[in-house]
Amino acid sequence: MLQSFFVYITFGLILFILGRLAQIRERANLLQNKTTPFWVWEVILALFVFAFVSGVRWNVGVDHLSYLNNYLSLQNGGYSLFDKEIGFEFITSVLAKSGIHFSFYFGLLAFLQLFFIYRALKDQRYLYPFLGIVIIFGPEYLNWMNGIRQMLAATIFVFSIQFIVKRQFLKYLFTILCASLFHTSALILLIFYIIPQKDYFKNRKFTLVLVAISLLIGSMTFWVNQLSQLSFLLKYIGYDWYSENIELLIADDEMRNIGPRRISMILVPILIIWFSPKLKATFKHTHFLSFYNITVVGFIFYNIFANMNHGFIRPITYLTVFTVPSSAFLLAYLYFNIKKSKAIMFISLIIMMSYLPLSVLADSGKGTKDFSNYKFYWYNFDK
């Protein structure tokens, strides 16, 4: 457990420092009316550090060992245990059959995940110091290390929002098609292009009422049996196993207690909603409004399905991933107004950084069922 705290704190601190350097460079260039190229050393190093730490991990993320077994099967002359989308299978097959070590494989996938987030916000590098903190210490890092294929597609979706805002349909179509090469379910994201870009949650009090209603619905079970009608949709968007076993998933409607981690996941979006009027005004020349709309929708749907089997939550991760940029915008706003919001900044940081430490504590001692504590592969991989 001590190793986990050391690795994660060092990990987050490095990303914060490199993000801060990126912020300083962008500000200096703006003062000189210069354009900051994306590929500068601090961004490259941040991506490399993220890739390295994610690549040499062991059993961090529930599905990590499944991905590893699939890779080793191909590398040892066998066949794919997954037989998934062609983009994912192509990368896996090429690297495995080339004799590339699996740490490089996992590092590359993690590199791509962070790359699309950084690239989506390349003109707002004042967010970079906070992105590392939000990703590592919030729920996203463990999510990314678990559903690797879908979370890569989700980060591509974050990158693609710019094409919706700019009304560049062909670029958006191409980007989503690329995302679908890693997870077929990404195709459903095409519908977002036809949704008008408006301030759907202008009234924060009304939005909070919607949140309360979603939490209430999520605590009830009277509507659960109706979900069997969604089996065809799950199959269409690439969740074949969930579609075929939907009755089992519906039966698995165990009510989960709202513990500290769940509370942190609730409080972060509520903070964003509460400060949304200021955030919309401060960052009106960015894509914040689009990020915010999807963040709220994802939060509401997550609350509704939070007590259901994880199979119903997985499609919603395309929406909940937007909590990352929205949280970074909030922290940036509080930082820029630190004289007025020092206490709020501190409280917000504590809440946003609580999920991973709580997971480390909760999973410690679970052995092979511990998917949160950081382990290096060279202490665990025996071949």
pLDDT of residue 248: 47
DSSP state of 236: H
- Region of 360 on the Ramachandran plot (φ > 0 left; ψ -120 to 50 alpha; else beta): alpha
Q: Is 285 exposed, middle or buried (0-12, 13-18, 19+ CB in 10 A)?
A: exposed
Report how far residue 198's alpha carbon sits from residue 202's, in angstroms, rounded to the nearest whole number.
Answer: 9
pLDDT of residue 197: 87
pLDDT of residue 249: 45
Residues 6+ positions from 245 with CB-CB distance below 8 Å:
311
DSSP H or E run through 42: helix 41-55
pLDDT of residue 82: 79
pLDDT of residue 245: 45
Its pTM stands at: 0.90
- Chain centroid offset of residue 266 CA: 16
pLDDT of residue 147: 87
Question: What's phi and psi for 173, nearest 5 deg?
Answer: -60, -45
Question: Among candidates 316, 318, 341, 317, which has minimal Cα distance to 330?
Answer: 341
The owner of tokens 């092979």 is 368
Q: Tell me which residues of the chain have a pLDDT lower than 50.
A: 228, 231, 241-255, 383
Half-sphere CA count of 333, side-chain side, radius 13 A = 22
Give tens-digit pLDDT for 311-335.
Answer: 667 889 999 999 999 999 999 999 8
Question: What's phi and psi for 61, nearest 5 deg?
Answer: 105, 130
Question: What's phi and psi for 366, nearest 5 deg?
Answer: -85, 0
Contact (CB, 8 A) for 191 and 221: no
Question: What's phi and psi for 244, nearest 5 deg?
Answer: -70, -25
Beta strands in the chain (DSSP E): none
pLDDT of residue 305: 83
pLDDT of residue 313: 79
Q: Which sequence spans correspond to the domains of the chain?
A: 1-146+366-383, 196-219+255-352
Q: How far apart are the first and last CA of the chain?
A: 25
Question: Among candidates 250, 101, 238, 245, which has minimal Cα distance to 179?
Answer: 238
For residue 35, which amino acid is it? T
